[in-house]
Structure 1
Amino acid sequence: MNVPMLTTDFLDRGVELYDDVTGVIADDGTEYTYAEFGERVDRLSNALLDMGLEQGDKVALVSGNTHYFLETQFAVQQLGMVFVPINYRLIADEYEYILNDCDAKVVVADHAYADEIQPIRESVPADTFVGYGADRIEGDWHEYEDVLQSGAPESPERPDIAEDDDATINYTSGTTGDPKGVVRTHRTEHVHALILAHHMELVDDDTYLWTLPMFHCNGWGHTYAVTGLGATHVCQRAFDAADTFATIREHDVSYLCGAPTVINRLIEEYERNEPETTGDRPVRITTAGSPPPKAQIEQVEDQFGWKLIQIYGLTETAPLITTSNSNRRIAQTDRAADLKVRQGSATLSTQIRVVDEDGEDVPQDDETMGEVVVKGNQVMDRYLNKPEITHDAFNERVEGWFHTGDVATVDEDGMIQIKDRRKDIIITGGENVSSIEVEDTLYDHPDVQKAAVVGTPDDDLGEKVTAIVVEKDDADLTAAEIEQFARERMANYKIPRRIEFEDDLPETATGKVQKYEIREEYWEGESRRI
C-alpha cells in the first residue's frame, strides 16, 4: 500500500490521540490542549482561504519561538500552501530579497520584527500583512488574533496534496553569502521527522523547550515530531540562559536543543549563579551547527547532569543525517566526550560517504580528509530558482549525491568527524590545518569563552593560522599565553601565529560563527585568495 507521506499526518495524530493533553505552552504561559491547538489551526486555515489564497501560494512568517509559529505552519501546509519561515534577525534589504525570491502572497510578522518589513511593503509581491501585536506596529497591519478568530472553527476541506508537493522553503543562514531557498517537500519533511523522533529518543510524555529558533529548518524538524508524538511544546520567545534554567524547573522540561553558542551561554550562567539544572526528570540536549569542544560536552554532562546528543546536518538535509548517539559505542570508550565530539554514523535510511577530489572514498583511517556527500529521503528537493546551483550540489564530485561542503575523516566504525568547511581548511606552508581542531584546543583553555580560527595572508606560508579569541569575564589573557597553551597540545604547524582578542564574534541567528566575515577583513585588497 502506498500512502502519501504528508506533514499534516503529524498534526492529525497529535490532535486525534492527545486532544486533552497540553500540547503548546505559549511564551506568555497560556496553555493550549491539542484539541484547542487544532481548532486554532483550522480557524487560521479558513481565514487564509477567505483571503483568496490557493494551493501552492507562499505564506512567509517572521517570528520568534511562539505558539503562532506552530499554528501558521500547520494552517498553511494543510491547505497545500507553502510555508516560508524567515530568520527574524535580518534587515529590510534581506527580507526584500527573500520575499521576492519566494513570491510570498502573505507576510505574518511579530511586532518585534515588523519594523524591518514595513519599509519594503511596496517592493514585494505580498499584498496582505498580518502582525502579531499589530497595534504596536507602524502602518496598516491586520491583527493576527483577529484574523485567526475570523475563520470558521470547522476543519477546512483539504485539497489533494501529493507527497512530492512543496511544503516549506527554508532559507540558509547565509554563512557563505546570500541565502538560498531550500525547497523541502511533504515527503522530505515527513521522513526526516520520523528519523529525528527515533534518534533523539522522543516519546509522548516529553516536554520540549524551544530554545532552538523555530525558523531554522523548521526547528530541525521538531515542529513536526513533537506534535505527532503528542509531546508538549514550551515556547521560549527568545533564548535567555537564566530563563532557560528557570523554565526547565517550572515545566519539568526533559528535552531541548541548541547550537554550541547556546550551550556556551548556559555554561556561563551556571558558572555565575549555579542554578538548579533539572526539574524532576532527567534532561537531554541535542546540539548541532558546529562541532562542540570536548570541554563543553564534559561540562554539560558532568556539571548539569544532562545527556548531550550530537547531530550533524545542514538546512538542505533537514538537518539530521548523522549522530554519535550510540549507547553501545559510548560504553566501549573511557571518555564519552571523545566519541560525542564526532558527528557520528549515518542515521536510519541515510547513506553517507567521505570522498576525495576524484569522488573516490577516502580510507577509513580517521586521518584522511574528504568531503561528506549524502543520499537520503530527507535531503532537499532543490534550491528555489537556482537550477544550476542545484545541479552542482548533487553532482560536483559524485553524481546523484548531495555535496555538503564539509570536510571530514571517517574511522573504522564508519563514524565521521567534521574537520572543517572546505573553504575553512587552512593551507599553511603546504600543510592542511583544520580550523576546528585548533578551535577545539583553544576552548580547552579555562579563560577562553569563544574562539574562531581562520587563514590569513602570509607571503611566506601562503596562509597563516590566525585565532580570534573572546575571553571570559575577568580574564586577562595574552597572545603569548594562548600560543604557549596551543604549543603544548598540537603540532607546530597548527599553532596560531597571529592571535587577536575581540569582545565577540559575528554569528548567525543559529549560533554559527560567520567566518567569511572574519576572513573578509584580512583578505580585502589582496590580489589572491587561498
Structure 2
Amino acid sequence: MEKPLLVTDFLDRARQYYGDKEAVVATTGDRYTYEELGERADGFSAALAAHGIEKGDRVAVLDPNTHYHLEAAYGTMQLGAVHTPLNYRLVPADYEYILTDADVKAVYADYEYAEKIEAIRDDVPTETFVTNDTAQVDGDWLSFDELIAESTDYDRPEMTEDELITINYTSGTTGDPKGVCRTHRTETLHAYLITSHQHISDDDVYLWTLPMFHVNGWGHIYAVTGNGAKHVCTRGVDAEWIFDTVREEHVSYMCAAPTVLNMLMDYYDKQGGVETTGDVPVRAATAGAAPPEATIRTVEDEFGWYLMHVYGATETGPLITTSDARRFFDDDSDDRFAVKKQQGIGYLGTDVRVVDEDGEDVARDGQTVGEIVVRGNQVMDRYWNKPEATDEAFTDRLEGYYHMGDLAVVDENGFITIQDRKKDIIISGGENISSIELEDTLFDHDAVGDVAVIPMPSEEWGESPKAFVVPAHGDADDPGVTADDLIAYTRERIATYKVPKEIEFVTELPKTATGKIQKYELREKEWEDEDRMVGQG
C-alpha cells in the first residue's frame, strides 16, 4: 500500500505517543509537553486561517531558535501553507526581496528582529504581521500568544506528498537569493535519513546550536519531533552557556558548525577544562569542508564527545554524505582522523558521484578532481520562479543530477574529499557569501575602479571574504580611501557576515587576454600554505 509522506505526520506522531512527555525547553524558562506544543501550533494554524491564509500561501518565520519558531512552522504547515524561514542575519533590503519574490502573505518575526521587517513592510505584499512581544516592537503587530489563545480550531486541508511545503532562501553566486523549493516528500525522506545516520531516538535531548532557518535546522525540526525527543531552544550560542546546558539538561546530541566547535574549544582551553557532559554521552554533527585533525582530537579525546562529519547544501536537504562509517576506523586509533576528515560516502538511497567535464566518473585514485553531483529523494524540487537556474543546476555535466559546485576527489573506498570550489561562493561560518554581490557593492564606491573578492583562510570562520581593490585613479599606494572606509561602506549595505575581513589595494588584477579576472591566481597565493583551497567553514 502507499501512504503519503507528509511533514505534519511528525508532530502528529509525537502527540499521539509522547503527548505528556516534555517536548521543548524554551528560552523563556517555560517547558512544554508535546501535547502543549501541538496545541500552540493548532492555535497558530487557527489564527492564520482567521487572517485568510490558505493552502499554498507563503508564511515567513524570522526567529532565532525558540519554541515560537517550531510552533509557527508546524502551525503554517498544518494549513498546507508554505513555511518560509528567514535568515536573521540579513538586512531589510534582503527581506524586501524575499518577501516580494515569494509573495509572502504573513510573517511571524521575533521581537529582536521585527524592526528589520517594519522598515520595509510598506514595500512588500505581506498583510499580516505577528511578533512574540508587541511591547518591544514599533508599528502595528499582532501578538503571537494572544492569537493562539483565541482558538485551536482549524480545518486541515487534503495534502499530497509532492506539494510544496517549504521554501528555503539561499545565497548563490549572484546577488539575489534563490528560493529552494522542498516538498512534503523531500522533507520527510531527509528526516528519515538523518534519523538513521545521526542515530536519533526518543531519549535524545537535542540542543539547538544550529539555526532553525538553515534548511529547517538540517531537518531536525522534523526528525527530533517525530521521534519524540526533546528540543532545547536557544537565542544564540555562547560557549559557557552551551557547556552549562549540556550538563544541566543532559544533552545527548547537537549539530555544531566548525565556528561553534572553535568557540567551545577556545573557552575550554581558557578555562583549563570544564565538565563537558551530563549523565549521557554527547554526539555532535558538523558539516562542510574537512574539520582539522586538532578539532576532532579535542572534541573526541578531551570533550569526550563523538563527532560526525556530514556534508550537503540547502538544495540537497541538506545532508547527502557522512564520514561516520565505523567499519573503516577504530574509535581508539588515530587512523580515524583520515576518515573523519573526508566528506565521506553517500547516505542511504543517495547517489553521490564525482564526475569530469564530460559527466564521467573520475578514477578512484584520490587524485583526479571532478565535480560532486547527487541524485536522491532529499534533493530539492526546483528553485522558486527560476526555471533557467533550475535547469542549469540539474544539467550542467550530468543530466538529472544536482551539481554541488564543489570539486573533489574519490579514494579507493569511494570516500569523497573536497579540494576546491567551482562556484564563485565563499562559505564562512556555515553562511554562503556571494563574491559577486560583494564585488557589486564595492564597485558602487567612487574610489573603486576594479575589484575581485575571494575567500581567504580564517582560523575562526574557516574562510572569510577578502577584496583586492584597484583604486579608481590606479595608485595602490595612495588609493584615496582606506580599507576601513570601504569595510564600513559595505557594512551599511549588506549583511554583516558578508563584509570583507580584509582589503588589499593593488595596481591591477590578473586577467586573461579577454579581460576575465583570474581569481584562481589570487586564491593560489592566498592559500599557498594550506592543504586545499577551501576552509573549514
**TM-score w.r.t. structure 1 length?**
0.82
Counterpart secondary structure, 2:119? helix
Provide structure 2 residue ranges, at least 5 long, that are not aligned to the other structure: 427-453, 470-486, 510-514, 519-537
Query: How much does 1:415 deviate?
Result: 0.8
- Aligned AA (2:182): R
Q: 1:140 to 1:298 in 2, by over 3 A?
A: same
Q: 1:38 to 1:522 in 2, by over 3 A?
A: farther
Q: State the match for 1:53 in structure 2.
A: 53
Q: State the match for 2:285 in structure 1.
A: 286
Distance 2:351 2:256 in 1: 25
Q: State the match for 2:80 in structure 1.
A: 80
Provide structure 1 residue ranges, at least 5 long, that are not aligned to the other structure: 427-434, 459-502
- Aligned AA (1:286): A
Distance 2:354 2:168 in 1: 26
Q: State the match for 1:417 in structure 2.
A: 417
Q: 1:222 to 1:204 in 2, by over 3 A?
A: same
5 Å-filtered alignment, 1:412-451, equals 412-423=412-423, 449=460
1:529 is the counterpart of 2:517: yes
- Aligned AA (2:517): R
Counterpart secondary structure, 1:117? helix
Contact 1:452 1:513 in 2 (8 A): no
- Aligned AA (2:211): P
5 Å-filtered alignment, 1:10-159, equals 10-152=10-152, 154=153, 156-159=154-157
Q: 1:110 to 1:454 in 2, by over 3 A?
A: closer
Contact 1:409 1:418 in 2 (8 A): yes
Distance 2:99 2:507 in 1: 31
Counterpart secondary structure, 2:280? coil
Q: State the match for 1:207 in structure 2.
A: 205
Query: How much does 1:529 deviate?
Result: 1.2
Decide which of 181, 184, 190 is 1:183's aligned counterpart.
Answer: 181
- Aligned AA (2:118): Q
- Aligned AA (1:245): F
Distance 1:449 1:290 in 2: 14
Query: How much does 1:452 deviate?
Result: 3.5
- Aligned AA (2:338): D
Distance 2:462 2:22 in 1: 41
Q: State the match for 1:497 in structure 2.
A: none
Identity across aligned pairs (percent)?
A: 51
What per-residue deviation string (whole Å, max 9, x for no partner) do you get for residues 141-189 of structure 1? Answer: 111111111223x4x3311101011110001145764321100000000
**TM-score w.r.t. structure 2 length?**
0.81
- Aligned AA (1:529): I
Q: State the match for 2:340 in structure 1.
A: 340
Contact 1:289 1:512 in 2 (8 A): no
Q: 1:178 to 1:120 in 2, by over 3 A?
A: same
Query: How much does 1:45 deviate?
Result: 0.7
Query: How much does 1:423 deviate?
Result: 4.1
- The range that moved more, 283-292 or 312-321, is 283-292
Q: State the match for 1:487 in structure 2.
A: none
Query: How much does 1:290 deviate?
Result: 3.3
Distance 2:234 2:252 in 1: 15
Distance 1:18 1:401 in 2: 39
Distance 1:331 1:212 in 2: 28
Query: How much does 1:528 deviate?
Result: 3.2
Q: State the match for 1:452 in structure 2.
A: 463
Q: State the match for 1:298 in structure 2.
A: 297
Counterpart secondary structure, 1:268? helix
Distance 1:261 1:50 in 2: 42
Contact 2:173 2:424 in 1 (8 A): no
Query: How much does 1:335 deviate?
Result: 2.2
5 Å-filtered alignment, 1:161-172, equals 161-172=159-170
Distance 1:424 1:43 in 2: 44
Q: State the match for 1:243 in structure 2.
A: 241
Q: State the match for 1:491 in structure 2.
A: none
Q: State the match for 2:434 in structure 1.
A: none
Query: How much does 1:238 deviate?
Result: 1.0
- Aligned AA (1:184): R
Contact 1:193 1:221 in 2 (8 A): yes
Query: How much does 1:20 deviate?
Result: 1.0
Q: State the match for 1:486 in structure 2.
A: none
Number of equivalent positions: 463
Deviating beyond 3 angstroms after TM superposition, the runs of 4 or more aligned structure 1 residues are 173-177, 423-426, 448-458, 511-514, 516-528
Counterpart secondary structure, 2:342? coil
Q: 1:453 to 1:370 in 2, by over 3 A?
A: farther
Distance 2:88 2:118 in 1: 14
Distance 1:185 1:115 in 2: 31
Q: State the match for 2:329 in structure 1.
A: 330
